[in-house]
A = this chain, B = another copy of it.
Amino acid sequence: MCLYLYLLCVCVCIWPECVLNVKKLLVSLASMEWYCYALLGIITALMSFFMDMTVAKLLNAHQWLYGCLKGHHLLQFLCWTLYPACLCALSTSFAHSVCPYSAGSGVPEARAILLGVDMPDYLSLSNLFAKMFGLICTLAAGSTVFLGKVGPFVHLSIMVGAFMNRLHVSCRGGKQRAAKGEMLVVASAVGVASCFGAPISGVLFSIEVMGTHYSVSDYCPCFFAAACGAITFRLLSVCIGDQDTIQALFKTSFSTDLPFQPFEIIIFALLGLFCSILSCIYLLCHRWALRFVKTNKPISTFLATEKSLYSAIVAFLLACFTFYHSAGHFIASELTMRQLLTSMLDGTSWYNISQNISALPEPQNTFWQAWNPPGKSYFQTLTFFIITKVGLLVVACTLPLPAGYFMPVFVYGAAVGRFIGEGSFYLLSGGISSGKSLINPGGYALAGAAAFSGAVTHTLSPALLAVEMTGQCSYAVPALVATLVSNAVARAKHRPSFYDGISLIKRLPHLPSLIRACPKLADVQIKQFVIPAGAVLERSEKLISVQHILKESTDSELPVVESRDFSVLLGTINRSQLRECLLEHRNEDSCKQLEEVCCVQPVRLHLTPDSTVKQAHCIMSITGEQRLFITESGRLCGVITWKEMKKIIEEMAKEV
């Protein structure tokens, strides 16, 4: 005991020295931010993994209870419907009582934050906890509410990134802003990477989410952190014995000798076209539903006061529909989302299985029984699934709880792909006569998933994500072709993407989505919104008057002009620097002039009132400038900071 105490004392004594030495050693190897990136990846991966584990346990508990009640239809019904209803109510009430900003996907907000807009409410610690707990509940509600993880997880990762940034700043101080932007971009890549163990898609996602310009200096950090996240996430599975080694999340075993014939490229392109048409319908319904919920008086007043009840009712209704003995057995509702995707990506065609059912190995047997309920063929179930799930998904999207909308769309796309794939298999293998064909419906499911989710979100990274998630490259080209075709149609005629739609409806300060919806906004000049600079110093200002101005203003930087009448901008003075100057010269003659005691920092960039808002936004988000001065013939006429920019964009959003 004494020895332990002694050791403890020694430890406490040499602890600070140790920490310093370790820090020195680490910093000598690489600069501090790289450790922050690695830590960001590891923390996010841990969060993702434990979230997945908790959700799996909760889902298992539900399935176990449901299984125990076999034979008692009413009890089974109650179990099936009340479990998700309670979880959704819990998720909503927790999220809204802790942090009302935690509802929804978070990606639209993240996009605005990544461009530089300050939205501290969306990066708070309370939001982190609310979102995490809420998301676990939502995911545990299973395939009944059919919601996913990616969006909120990217948001969570960005919150962790913001905290890592604070840690980094507290470690060394200075350059907070520029570093912050970088850390958040890295965090967005890490979010996707740790969610699926797919590092390269994570990086592509971080490029796409940036909207206008991607700084190439963020590229390496993104790759590094995403690799750390993805490897940790997959290694954890190895640690608990789920897998033998680092492998793909939804590993497939398609034949690689002849994965597809060249002519099939055309079918894949048609699949992309079909997916894009479906995506347009889905997006239209989704925007209509969001507007309806917002504008319909009874529903909006009910939602304003009774969010949890609304969630519970909607989840209950969804569960009623998906209950096995109502419509559930037509849409394989007993499978979890993971099982749905795995069943769709299976390399053996269902036609072949139907010819040779005897001794089907698990889990193929479960999947087969789910997709082939008594009296129905798999074509009928797939068709019914595709038709009804759009509606169910649109309804689920109105739930005011933390939830992702990417994975449902991905699974839905896989179903569409599987449908086309099974159809092609059936038609091209000569119908019932010969059961042999080279077409692999699993590959179509993969391409369909990429194409549909790509069309909904207007991104191309799902094509690579599908490859990384399945661990096989053989269908990379078909997936890319389908995604490109679906994107081409989905983006035509300035149609907004899923995230753009939410941004517009929520009136988020995200300029690129505004411009996409209304291209003429790109030419709006800044002169309509010029906000006069607050406190201004004259070059010959007396120190005593400087002191007055300093007291009244809160700006961190004050512009200095020639004189108030002839306000040619000379430069700026930092607040802290000004204070130091004043302190230094407090005992001297207070009639001294400003230019005698202080050094004016030159302003490197002037905008004129004729500059467009888009230009100002672009320059601010790229150069990391916190404040742009607007001058006309050299005279200061206004100033723009991110706060003003946010107001300007919100103002512009009203015009759309």
Contact = CB atoms under 8 A, between A and B. Distances in A.
9 contacts: A200-B476, A213-B622, A214-B215, A238-B262, A245-B260, A248-B473, A468-B476, A602-B609, A619-B623
B216 A562 contact: no
Contacts of A265: 231, 246
Nearest to A478: B246
A296 interface: no
Contact of A480 (B217, B227, B474, B569): B227
A223 B602 contact: no
A234 interface: yes
B607 A611 contact: no
B210 A213 contact: no
A480 B245 contact: no
Interface in A510-529: none
Given A210-B216, A224-B484, 10 more contacts: A30-B492, A200-B476, A200-B480, A207-B214, A245-B259, A245-B260, A467-B473, A568-B633, A570-B633, A605-B605
A502 to B, nearest CB: 19
A219 interface: yes
A80 to B, nearest CB: 38
The list of the 3 closest CB pairs from A to B, nearest first, reads: A634-B634, A602-B610, A606-B606
A244 B257 CA distance: 9
A230 B473 CA distance: 14
Contacts of A609: 602
B474 A471 contact: yes
A481 B260 CA distance: 31
A142 interface: no
Given A602-B608, A608-B606, A477 B633 contact: no
Nearest to A209: B216
Contact of A253 (B216, B253, B256): B256
A125 interface: no
A604 B606 CA distance: 9
A220 B256 contact: no
Contacts of A491: 220
A471 B606 CA distance: 51
Contacts of A30: 488, 492
Contact of A635 (B234, B248, B612, B634): B634
A580 B619 CA distance: 34
Contacts of A576: none
A167 to B, nearest CB: 21
Interface in A442-485: 460, 464, 467-468, 471-474, 476-477, 480-481, 484
